[in-house]
Amino acid sequence: MDTVDLTVGDGEFFTLLGPSGSGKTTTLRIIAGFEQPDAGRVTLGGEDITNEPPYSRDVNTVFQDYALFPHMTVADNVGYGLKVKGVSRAERKRQVEEVLRMVRLDGYGERKPIQLSGGQRQRVALARSIVNRPKVLLLDEPLGALDLKLRQEMQVFLKSLQRELGMTFLYVTHDQEEALTMSDHVAVFNEGKIEQVGSPNDVYEQPATEFVAGFVGTSNILERDGKRFSVRPERIELNGTGHPGVVADVVFVGAFRRIFVDIDSGDRITVVRPNDGTTIEPGTRVHVHWRDEDAYEIQSPDTHEQEVR
């Protein structure tokens, strides 16, 4: 991994987004204390915790495979952190019940993890971490193993839970949609470096690099007068008065259609149009048009590099 400099604000939902192998999980593991950085510091609330072992850091992790202890009941799993800290049995029981209610698993305390569905296990893992009231909750692709519908429900649930608790969530994912839906801020990782940090809106509307433009949503990268621009496919209109071209292919995606246009100047442009019932055949001559403000200039890799350092 290269140098990474990140500051996460108190009570934020902060997402580390990037393809696999981009260093986002390693960053999370360094914060949790499972891995040691070769250089640099980790601070939590102004306190240097770089040399603290995982058990004395005020952070908790929701693991990708949940890592629930199979020989303990749900209640024992959730109460583990409290028990280790020496919280009394009665108080432990109260807090475990409260947090199980919070993740909508009241009455499941006596079950074993193996008797639960994937989504329920996921919520037990969540409960086991938040019951300790950590300063930061680290989530390592926690929704990765769930199916799409459940994942979307959990996204909404996680976001509302985070708001309710006012807890800082540091969330790792490779799913750009997940990052955009839930986060206050997103850091886009690529090859062990951070490409851009910003709000979901910033990252989407003003991608700092070509990588960000391509990874967060899809983008048309166009070169004009030696400068490079990114234009989002949904901002492009057909039959306008702009660049003439030919429809090369049309892909049906349900709610919308993806139309590929070869414009006469040589570029292939991707256009996304809502499915309004009309049809368009490949081979049709069209004009593609976008407003000037929708073409966002992106920096060349060299200038970007200098700026991050």
Site stretch for other proteins (CB under 8 A), options 56-64, 92-100, 116-124, 186-194: 56-64
Q: Work out whether 63 is an interface residue with other proteins (CB under 8 A).
A: yes
Q: Work out whether 65 is an interface residue with other proteins (CB under 8 A).
A: yes
Q: Work out whether 248 is an interface residue with other proteins (CB under 8 A).
A: no
- Write out 261-281 in H/E/C secondary structure: EEECCCCEEEEEEECCCCCCC
The only residue of 70, 254, 274, 277 in contact with other proteins, by rule CB under 8 A: 70
Q: Work out whether 171 is an interface residue with other proteins (CB under 8 A).
A: no
Site stretch for other proteins (CB under 8 A), options 96-104, 124-132, 221-229, 274-282: 124-132
Q: Work out whether 115 is an interface residue with other proteins (CB under 8 A).
A: no
How many angstroms from the chain centroid is the CA of residue 24? 10
Q: If we measure between CA atoms, which residue out of 245, 285, 253, 292 comes closest to residue 269?
A: 245
* Order of strands across the sheet that contains 227-231: 220-224, 227-231, 295-298
User: DSSP labels for 94-125?
Assistant: HHHHHHHHHTT-TT-TTS-GGGS-HHHHHHHH
The only residue of 54, 118, 240, 301 in contact with other proteins, by rule CB under 8 A: 54
> Looking at beta carbons only, is 30 or 247 nearer to other proteins?
30
Q: Return left, alpha or beta for 66; rule: phi > 0 is left, psi -120 to 50 is alpha, else beta.
A: left
Q: If we measure between CA atoms, which residue out of 264, 258, 291, 270 comes closest to residue 219?
A: 270
Give exposure, 202-235, as e/b (b: 16+ Cβ within 10 Å). Answer: ebbbbbbbbbbbebbbebbebeeeeebbbbbbeb
> Looking at beta carbons only, is 85 or 309 nearer to other proteins?
85
The answer to whether 40 touches 3, Cβ cutoff 8 Å, is yes
Cβ 73 to other proteins, closest distance in Å?
Answer: 13
The only residue of 71, 252, 266, 276 in contact with other proteins, by rule CB under 8 A: 71
Q: Work out whether 67 is an interface residue with other proteins (CB under 8 A).
A: yes
Q: Work out whether 32 is an interface residue with other proteins (CB under 8 A).
A: yes
Cβ 47 to other proteins, closest distance in Å?
Answer: 17
Q: Work out whether 41 is an interface residue with other proteins (CB under 8 A).
A: no
Spatial distance between the Cα atoms of 217 and 258, rounded to a whole number of angstroms: 13
Specify the residue for token string 């495979």. Answer: 65
83 to 102, contacts with other proteins by CB under 8 A?
Answer: 84-85
The only residue of 24, 121, 123, 128 in contact with other proteins, by rule CB under 8 A: 128
> Looking at beta carbons only, is 68 or 269 nearer to other proteins?
68
> Looking at beta carbons only, is 81 or 207 nearer to other proteins?
81
Q: Work out whether 252 is an interface residue with other proteins (CB under 8 A).
A: no
Side-chain half-sphere exposure of 191, counting CA atoms within 13 A:
3
Longest dimension (CA), the chain: 75
β-bridge pairing 185-190 and 193-198: antiparallel
Cβ 136 to other proteins, closest distance in Å?
Answer: 12
Cβ 167 to other proteins, closest distance in Å?
Answer: 16
- Give me the residues that bind other proteins (CB under 8 A), please: 32-34, 53-56, 59-61, 63-65, 67-71, 80-81, 84-85, 128-129, 132
